[in-house]
Amino acid sequence: MSSQASIAIAQSVQLRAAVLLPLPLPQAYDYALPEGVVAKRGLLVRAPLGGRELIGVVWGKPEGGVASDKMRLAVPIDGLRLPPMLCDFIDWVARYTLSPPGAVLAQALRVRGVFDPEVPRKALIAGTIVPERMNPARERVRALMTDGLARVPSEIAELAGVSPGVVKGLADAGALKWVSLPEFEPCREPDGAFDAVKLSPDQLRAAEHLRDAVKKREFSVALLDGVTGSGKTEAYFEAVAEALSEGKQALILLPEIALTVQFLDRFEARFGCRPVEWHSDLSLRERKRAYRAVMRGEARVVVGARSALFLPFPKLGLIVVDEEHEHAYKQEEGVIYHARDMAVVRARLENCPIVLASATPSLETYVNAKIGRYEWLKLAHRHGAAEMPEVRLVDMRIDHGEPGQFLSPALRTALDNTLRAREQALLFLNRRGYAPLTLCTVCGRKETCRNCSAWMVEHRYKKRLVCHHCAYEIAIPERCPQCGAEHSYIACGPGVERVEEEFRAAFPDARVAVASSDTLFGPAQTQGAIRAFAVGEIDVIIGTQIVAKGHHFPRLTLAGIIDADLGGGAGDPRSAERSFQLLHQVAGRSGRGDRPGLVLIQTRNPEDPVMQALASQARDDFLEEEMRIRERSFIPPYGRLASLILAGEDALAVRETGRELALAAPKAQGLSVWGPAPAFYQVLRGRTRERLLVQAEKTIDIQGYIRAWLAEVKIPSSVHLTIDIDPISFF
């Protein structure tokens, strides 16, 4: 469908339009519209389908072919409309990811009941009547309400410290008067001039560039490339301020919810109020409020996870993608897309600037900056007096401690020094739980998941073995099911819980917390630990990647990486890059305040280029070398990749389909199809998986190729096919 903003369809009796429904259907369906309705693209309607009524969107001209008497009626919802630009974006994402447009639309319509009419809240304000009987409780309510504000009864009771009965009594007596309030509190408007900080000359240069870009109201991409702690946030906040003064909306994407806590505080300090949040942790009510405020243009700044990209902004003037290199931006289920890449697309369609911020840019972005397609803004120094930390490698082949210990003598000494100086330390290990592998010492049996070809991970707090892929869990066996030996299981290798155990034994007086994205440590608990660490209630935080990124802890002067050799997955062309980015981010937490920082990296491969680059802090040399490797092997950004993943409970059918697909692959110049090969975890959640990989030269239309290919093959209904364009995960 073309991007016509409105399509008026002239027909004598009834108007018709193609309506897209938020379902994985191949196309939009024709519906009739009530008389007098202009069929504008984006118009929201309630449309019947089968026995249900769905929210749909007028997408374009009717396809035709449906008899008039079969035509069903779609009814507009209060004239509400998705911005046409969002519709164009949805079409674009669908084409690029080879997803049904309706499945992409579903990303934009995920808030249940969001278009229902608002239900006003009943609230009370001070009345004119003074009741005859006053008492201290009633007096407190009266004093509270003299400010003339309307409040809901529960709020009054809470603020005045009285029972709900007291409030009701006063309302009955006429001392408080009922009024109605809108269902949702209005959004406060961030103030671009609230508390601007004084920028360093570097920051100022970057900020002015970004401000100009916003003022131009044109598409442009800037890489804000600043060392950890250089104040990238302060620099792009200036662009946000400019968007505010231009009357536009701004969207800031963050890779993880865990990062939002500190971010919201900083935003409030700079702009005087909190931005609107958008992520999976919001309640339905909060989501409704945010969605409606965005749609009306009242939510001026939105901070969100990748799904915020599909919000109905009517006047988007700026997108920021913070930590643009993060793999959390890749949505791996349903519609598979990379939010950073799609953010660039949305900015182009909206004709607004986009800022990609990182201390360790992805190779894709780095290359675009290098060849001048993106503006390259550099912040080479840490803010204020802070210097980059000293980085040392600890060769664990030589400098290890006792068997079964994971803290080397060097790291123990450094921890001791840090604690004595009343500074803070971060111990990083990208492994949840107690131990990654549990085995029977008598017969060597390893516990594997019954649904996945993966090992069960011991979680000692829970006293359970847990699969990290499907969450299947069992009690730790008392007796080996294979050889019958009792209490024969031992834990192999470290997880964060085990590092904590060892740390506590070595430093019994230190205050320590574990933060990982576990079921036991939900987002709230993790955020609690991060807050406590930030305000100095904890000395040492032991965590997975959740604590490694983006946070600013001024008293943190030691970062210890427990096992730097836990790189990316097998066959993953980005594993070196990924490893470098993660470890560099961890290292970047150290020494951000006024005291110098130290980073100790425990490794068994100190000669590895990743370790060498970290130790010598030679990021660009590392990236240049990676570029050469990828260029030679036609790996992105020098070539294109797509994965076809087949999965199903019937292993035979999956394998058979894989073979047929491979045989049916059309020959094409500059393009190869590899596989089928079993996926890294061949069985996941009870389903057998096979993978085909398409590798193509950059100029080839890989989507067109796959479309033509799949048109020739019938996939049985027992086999599920997932297409992953630009895959970053090779499990």
- The answer to whether residues 457 and 435 touch, using CB atoms and an 8 Å cutoff, is yes
Contacting ligand ADP within 672-731 (CB under 6 A)? none
Contacting ligand ADP within 545-604 (CB under 6 A)? 552
Cβ closest to ligand ADP, residue 272 vs residue 334: 272
- Residue 544's contacts (CB-CB under 8 Å, 6 or more residues apart) are 428, 429, 430, 431, 432, 496, 515, 516, 517
Instruction: Give min distance, CB of 199 to ligand ADP, in A.
Output: 5
Neighbours of 178 (CB within 10 A): 12
Instruction: Give min distance, CB of 227 to ligand ADP, in A.
Output: 7
Burial 612-650 (b: 16+ CB within 10 A, else e): ebbbebebeebbeebbeebeeebbbbbbbbbbbbbbbee
How far is it, in rounded angstroms, from Cα 661 to Cα 87?
A: 33
Among ligand ADP, Zn ion, none, what binds residue 393 when CB lies within 5 to 8 Å by partner kind?
none
Of 137, 199, 457, 476, the one binding ligand ADP by CB under 6 A: 199
> Does the N-terminal peptide bond of residue 676 adopt cis geometry, omega within 30 degrees of 0?
yes
Q: Is 683 in the site for Zn ion (CB under 5 A)?
A: no
Query: Backbone dihedral region of 724: left (phi > 0), alpha (psi from -120 to 50 degrees) or beta?
Result: beta
Structure-block tokens of residue 550: 């983006």
- Residue 322's contacts (CB-CB under 8 Å, 6 or more residues apart) are 232, 233, 236, 252, 253, 254, 255, 259, 357, 358, 550
Among Zn ion, ligand ADP, none, what binds residue 644 when CB lies within 5 to 8 Å by partner kind?
none
Determine the size of the site formed for ligand ADP (CB under 6 A).
15
Helix (H, G, I), strand (E, B) or coil at 394: strand
Angle between helix axes 136-145 and 153-160 (nearest 10 degrees) is: 110
Question: What strands lie across the sheet with 52-60, from one edge to the other?
Answer: 29-33, 15-20, 52-60, 43-49, 75-81
Q: What secondary structure, in 3-state letters, does 569-628 show?
A: CCCCCCHHHHHHHHHHHHHCCCCCCCCCCEEEEEECCCCCHHHHHHHHCCHHHHHHHHHH
Among candidate residues 42, 45, 95, 106, the one with its CA nearest the CA of residue 72 = 45
Cβ closest to ligand ADP, residue 388 vs residue 671: 388
Of 40, 217, 266, 469, the one binding Zn ion by CB under 5 A: 469
Among Zn ion, ligand ADP, none, what binds residue 470 when CB lies within 5 to 8 Å by partner kind?
Zn ion
Instruction: Give min distance, CB of 278 to ligand ADP, in A.
Output: 21
Instruction: Give min distance, CB of 444 to Zn ion, in A.
Output: 21
Q: E-strand spans in 242-295?
A: 249-253, 276-278
Among candidate residues 339, 532, 553, the one with its CA nearest the CA of residue 426 = 553
How far is it, in rounded angstroms, from Cα 239 to Cα 247?
A: 13
Cβ closest to Zn ion, residue 472 vs residue 731: 472
Segment contacting ligand ADP by CB under 6 A, of 107-115, 227-235, 395-403, 564-572: 227-235
- Residue 268's contacts (CB-CB under 8 Å, 6 or more residues apart) are 274
Of 49, 125, 437, 470, the one binding Zn ion by CB under 5 A: 470
Among ligand ADP, Zn ion, none, what binds residue 472 when CB lies within 5 to 8 Å by partner kind?
Zn ion
Segment contacting ligand ADP by CB under 6 A, of 29-37, 192-200, 283-291, 437-445: 192-200
How far is it, in rounded angstroms, from Cα 101 to Cα 24?
A: 7
Burial 392-420 (b: 16+ CB within 10 A, else e): ebbbbeeebbeeeebbbebbbebbeebbe
Of 97, 107, 228, 688, the one binding ligand ADP by CB under 6 A: 228
Cβ closest to Zn ion, residue 254 vs residue 467: 467
Instruction: Give min distance, CB of 715 to Zn ion, in A.
Output: 25
Among Zn ion, ligand ADP, none, what binds residue 234 when CB lies within 5 to 8 Å by partner kind?
ligand ADP
229 to 268: interface string for ligand ADP, x by CB under 6 A:
xxxxxx----------------------------------
Among ligand ADP, Zn ion, none, what binds residue 233 when CB lies within 5 to 8 Å by partner kind?
ligand ADP
Instruction: Give min distance, CB of 527 to ligand ADP, in A.
Output: 17
Cβ closest to Zn ion, residue 90 vs residue 465: 465
428 to 457: interface string for Zn ion, x by CB under 5 A:
---------------------x-xx-----
Among ligand ADP, Zn ion, none, what binds residue 438 when CB lies within 5 to 8 Å by partner kind?
none
Structure-block tokens of residue 308: 């915020």
Instruction: Give min distance, CB of 371 to ligand ADP, in A.
Output: 24
Cβ closest to ligand ADP, residue 207 vs residue 311: 207
Instruction: Give min distance, CB of 432 to ligand ADP, in A.
Output: 25
- Residue 505's contacts (CB-CB under 8 Å, 6 or more residues apart) are none
Polymer length in residues for the chain = 731
- Residue 492's contacts (CB-CB under 8 Å, 6 or more residues apart) are 435, 436, 437, 438, 439
Of 129, 179, 197, 652, the one binding ligand ADP by CB under 6 A: 197
Of 306, 383, 431, 687, the one binding ligand ADP by CB under 6 A: 383
Cβ closest to ligand ADP, residue 263 vs residue 622: 263
Helix (H, G, I), strand (E, B) or coil at 683: strand
Among ligand ADP, Zn ion, none, what binds residue 488 when CB lies within 5 to 8 Å by partner kind?
none
Among candidate residues 586, 568, 587, the one with its CA nearest the CA of residue 578 = 568
What 8-state DSSP symbol labels residue 135?
A: -
Contacting Zn ion within 359-378 (CB under 5 A)? none
Among Zn ion, ligand ADP, none, what binds residue 199 when CB lies within 5 to 8 Å by partner kind?
ligand ADP
393 to 432: interface string for Zn ion, x by CB under 5 A:
----------------------------------------
Contacting ligand ADP within 69-108 (CB under 6 A)? none
Instruction: Give min distance, CB of 432 to Zn ion, in A.
Output: 14
Among ligand ADP, Zn ion, none, what binds residue 230 when CB lies within 5 to 8 Å by partner kind?
ligand ADP
Segment contacting ligand ADP by CB under 6 A, of 194-202, 252-260, 442-450, 536-544: 194-202
Binding residues vs Zn ion (CB under 5 A): 449, 451-452, 467, 469-470, 472
Binding residues vs ligand ADP (CB under 6 A): 197-200, 203, 226, 228-234, 383, 552
